[in-house]
Amino acid sequence: MTGGPARGGPPARGGGAGVLAQRVDGGDVRRGDVVVFEDDTWADVPVVKRVVAVGGDTVSTGRDGTLKVNGTEIDEPYLSEDGASGLNAFPEVTVPKGRLFLLGDERSGSLDSSSHLTDTANGTVSREAVRARVDAVVWPVDGMLEAPTGFEEIGALSAPGPLPTVVALALGGAVLILGGAAYGPLVQLAGASRARRADAGARTGDAR
């Protein structure tokens, strides 16, 4: 499955980048995840940003750009060289229940939750708006996203997605579709491949 261009880049690397993602339920999203979501108050296309805080959390950035969640400074090695810029510094925000606070990895120029603080719910996005979680950047070829270990101190991280398995299946003949916001049902792709192998085995058994 392919989708339209995802604004914000994956993760927030700018237009023209391609991502590989899996569909997830918004309730399964955790801090540090890079997600594809759709929110009419942000844009009329899918947007890709990183979840830095969830319902009940407090979040802020200082003048030096340091991210704090629940009072803990978060190490963000995935930021670009100028990502720690304080240009988008914002005061402490409490994230409402059932919502997410999202920032771009190119922090100084990202149109993210920090740019929507005057909107309803302090610039947060409903969990129900999430369509997928990004596993890898495929254009430019960056590969799997790093685990956002800076968030481990305040909560568990999401388990890795099925990307390695799906890539192996693709090399074996399955079709892997890529796009600007290619957040297709990868689990279904893997399941379809298993079903084909089972059918092939059944036909072999009948032939005997």
Other C-beta atoms lying within 10 Å of the C-beta of residue 93 = 19
Identify the sign of the CA torsion 169, 193, 142, 180. positive
pLDDT in tens, 2-11: 233 344 444 4
- Helix/strand/coil for 110: coil
Tell me if the pTM is above 0.75: no
Amino acid identity at 17: A
pLDDT of residue 22: 86
Task: Write down the mean pLDDT value for the chain.
Answer: 75
How far apart are alpha carbons 175 and 182 in whole angstroms?
Answer: 13
Q: What are φ and ψ of residue 170, in 5° steps?
A: -60, -40
Closest listed residue to residue 127, CA positions, set 13, 29, 9, 4: 29
- Residue 54 — pLDDT band, cuts 50, 70, 90? very high
- For residue 196, pLDDT over 60 is answered with no
Spatial neighbors of 90 by CB under 8 A, at least 6 apart, are 60, 61, 114, 117
Burial class of residue 59, CB neighbours in 10 A (0-12, 13-18, 19+)? buried
Instruction: Give me the DSSP letters along 123-180.
Output: G-EEGGGEEEEEEEEEETT-EEPPP-GGGGGGSPPPPP-SHHHHHHHHHTT-----BT
